[in-house]
Structures are given as C-alpha cells and as structure tokens.
Amino acid sequence: MSDDIRTTVVTAGDRAFAWGAYLLVASMRMNGMTHPVIVGAMDWTPVMKQRISALGGVTIHELPTSRQCVACQKPMLMGCDDVRTEWVCWADADAVFVGDCSEWLTGDDPEEIVVRMYSPPPPLLTPKVLKIWQNDVEKLCGKVLPESRLGTTTVNNPFIVLHRKWKPFLERWKTQTEKVIAPDVTTPWQKQSAYFQTDESVLGSLLCFDPDAPKVTEHYKANGSVDKSRYFAHFAYNPKPWQMWNPYSLKWHDIIMPVVDWLIAEKKIAPSDLPLPLRRGWWPVCRSFAWTAPWVWRAIKLKRRIFHR
C-alpha cells in the first residue's frame, strides 16, 4: 500500500446489495482511487465475491445471516483490525464515487467526524425521541450532555470519515446498537422506533449527547459543494438501479453507466452477466417503466411480509 494512502474505505451489503458494492468499488478503481476496501458480505454468491475481489485491494468479511441488518454492522466493520490506516471511511453500497474523491476520504481535523447533518431535521426526530436518546446515552456512558450539541437535528450517514483515534467511540456505537436495536431487525428503517433509522439513529444519539463524542464537521465536502466534478452519489430510494430504475434514480443513469462501461472495457465482466437494468440495450424499456417502480417495490415488500411471517 502506498504511503500516501491514509484511508480505508468500508462498505457492506446483503445479497441484494452485492451489485451496489461492486459498482461502488469499481467507481473507485475507474477514478484512480487505490485505497484498500473492506466489504462486509452477507449471503453473497461466490461469483460476486470473486468479481469484487478481482478489482484489487479488497478484503471480504463474511457477515452471518442471523445477525441484525447489514447497516447495523457499520461500527464493527469500521473498527475492525483490518483497518490499518490513519482514517476510515464508510460508504453505503448504494452509491458511486464521481471523479477522484481521494481528497474527501480524509478529514480536515482528527477531532471531527465527517458526516452530513439533516436539514431540515427528519420529521420523526421529536422532543420525545431526543429525550429517549439522552436517557439511553446516559445509561451507556454514565454521563450525558444536558442539551443536544446538534440542536433539533441529527446526522445522515451514508458517507462517514473518522480518524482511528476514535476507535473507542466506534465501540460505544457498536455496543449501543446491539443494546437498543432488536436482534431480529433486518431493515434499516423502523418507523415506530425512537431509533427509526437504526444504526444511523444510534450514531446520531451519541453525537448529540455523548460528552466524549467527536464534533461533527461544519465542512462536509463529499456532496459536490466544493467541486461539482467530484462527489459521492448516493442513490437513496428503492428499488436500486441494478434492480429497477425509479423516477429518482433516472438522474444517476449517466454517472452509473460509465462505471459499467469501464468494467466491460477492462474485461472485469461480460455484458451478458449484467442485470437487465444495467444493460444499455434495455435502457429505453427501463426508462419507460421507471414510473411503475414505486408500485412494484411496494408489491415486493408486501409479498415478503406475507411469506416471512
């Protein structure tokens, strides 16, 4: 590993997100980002593990399917012994890097955590929820701030950069996640819970009320605010582009497909191995039916609820 590589990138996904993680790492390599990558893989096929490993510099951590949702494994993976660099960066597996984003993979100040704050605050972050967070943090830490250092908002964490000095903080995040998120929670969205965004809400609670937590940076740069040619593009809504294009993700088509083209040109994958939504020949059809995606996704979720009771 080059001496100028100061950050390890960490991502994770279950089988449904394997293609997302593959595109994420491919976007790094396409843009000259040679940073080591740790991938938490839950129930991946051997083929997908081989494909992502072939991109180089990738260490795979097998995640047992009996554990909480993959998102809840963030602090464990970010703090694992395979992270040997000065900084660690979490990147969600439903995203790609646009341009060489190496500069955004280290923070300006080791005392800060690079993570984006919600603006405006999420509707579910009520005074009652903040009070629950405060009480739970006090139980964990034995001390607590009297007021939230983030005011009435919290953080959005598809992209995080943290210095290795904060490994004890990652341990507290992991411990609190295991404590307040039920072991049978398999999705990152729990509308009826005080921790409505599971791991993200736990992180937010600590950044709000843990006296020994890092300060949240005021200079989040990975969203293109500094350089519109270099940014972290997060796809957010379901279904994902490799599953079915939706009205929101259509805008990402022209940044995702160059990554796919690069994989083909570098002979990392054959066109016939691509999911149909990532095949250029299918684009007119996929675009025409994108408006149906939200309804298709609701039907899929209903089917899962019915047959997994």
pLDDT per residue as tens digits for the range 212-223: 999 999 989 999
Q: Tens digits of per-residue pLDDT, 257-300?
A: 999 999 999 999 999 999 999 999 999 999 999 999 888 888 87
pLDDT higher than threshold 90 for residue 188 = no
CATH architecture of 7-216: Alpha-Beta Complex (3.90)
Write out the two tokens for 236: 């957010």
Banded model confidence at residue 190, pLDDT cuts 50, 70, 90: confident
Task: Record the tokens describing residue 254, joined without a space.
Answer: 């022209």
Residues of the chain with CATH 3.90.550.10: 7-216
pTM to 2 decimal places:
0.94
Omega of the bond leading into 120 within 30 degrees of 0 (cis): yes
HSE-up of 257 (CA within 13 Å, CB side)?
15
Question: With 60 as the cut, is the pLDDT of residue 104 above it?
Answer: yes
What pLDDT was estimated at residue 299? 86
| CB environment 143-171: b (16+ within 10 A), e (fewer) | ebeeebebeebbbbbbbbbbbbebeebbe
Residue 157 · residue 10 · CB < 8 Å: no
**Distance between CA atoms of 154 and 152, rounded to whole angstroms?**
7
More confident residue, 300 or 249: 249
pLDDT in tens, 50-89: 999 999 999 999 998 866 688 899 999 999 999 999 999 9
| CA–CA gap between residue 115 and residue 299 (Å, rounded) | 33
Residue 237 has pLDDT above 90, yes or no: no
Q: Which long-range contacts (CB under 8 A, 24 or more apart) does 286-294 make?
A: 286/244, 286/245, 287/245, 287/250, 287/253, 289/244, 289/245, 290/244, 290/245, 290/246, 290/247, 290/249, 290/250, 291/247, 293/239, 293/244, 293/245, 293/246, 293/247, 294/246, 294/247
Q: How far apart are the C-alpha atoms of 200 and 68, rounded to whole Å?
A: 14
With 50 as the cut, is the pLDDT of residue 124 above it? yes
Return the pLDDT at 67.
Answer: 65
User: Confidence class of residue 1 from pLDDT cuts 50, 70 and 90?
Assistant: very low
Mean pLDDT of the chain: 93
